[in-house]
Structure 1
Amino acid sequence: MKKLISVILLAFAAITLTFSRPALAADAGAGKAVFAANCAACHLGGKNVVNPMKTLAKSDLEKYGMDSMEKIVYQVTNGKNAMPAFQGRLKPDQIENVAAYVLEQSEAGW
């Protein structure tokens, strides 16, 4: 019986580790500096100078499906439309940090 329970627990652990996505360990405090240096020219205060309808406000992030770390990281990394790609200019951890900062600020209402 002990062996059966051990096998079941081992199988459960293996499945969990295989199919779980790693958590993004981002630092919103560090993201603030990255945002100020790279994003604030167009997004100061959560606004959008290029397209005023698509701000970084929580409601707009939700409306356009950009209200997750993964989505923001993807867009900052790859760019879209008038937004340039920051891949190569920022390190992956800097992009994760700025995404965490954007989400934190959107929750706080900028």
Structure 2
Amino acid sequence: MKKIITVMLLLGIAIFTFIFGSSALAADAVSGTKVFSANCASCHAGGKNLVQAQKNLKKDALEKYGLYSAEAIIAQVTKGKNAMPAFGKRLKPSQIEDVAAYVLSQADKDWK
């Protein structure tokens, strides 16, 4: 049952993102900056990855590892993976969405 709810939640997020496009998420990038600075920058400052350098937050790496979408970033931040801890219990879903918007906006600008 828990798995079905998780799948439905992720599907709902995917549908929302598809309907409203990345421009809806871009409005939250400013808030995402603050959340990213407080929770992610210790490992990912400037789009880098201090634990696994090749798995950084640059656009080409995000595309290579299948993470160049809000849905994928939201899932990764929420659940964690490998060395990355899960933030699903520490951050609100809206904060995680804001971080995804921020990461995508910065990746598009090559973190400059």
CA–CA distance in structure 2, aligned partners of residues 57 and 22 of structure 1: 24
- 1:6 is aligned to none
CA–CA distance in structure 2, aligned partners of residues 21 and 48 of structure 1: 29
Residue aligned with 2:15, SS: coil
Q: Which residues in structure 2 correspond to 1:1-110 (within 5 Å)?
A: 21-23=15-17, 25-26=24-25, 27-110=28-111
Gaps of 5+ in 1: 1-19
CA–CA distance in structure 1, aligned partners of residues 32 and 76 of structure 2: 15
CA shift, 1:43, in A, is 0.1
Give the aligned residue type for 1:95: I
Gaps of 5+ in 2: 1-13
Instruction: Calculate the TM-score normalised by the size of structure 1.
Output: 0.79
Give the aligned residue type for 1:86: F
Residue aligned with 1:104, SS: helix
CA-atom RMSD in angstroms = 1.4
Instruction: Calculate the TM-score normalised by the size of structure 2.
Output: 0.78
Q: Identity, % of aligned pairs?
A: 59
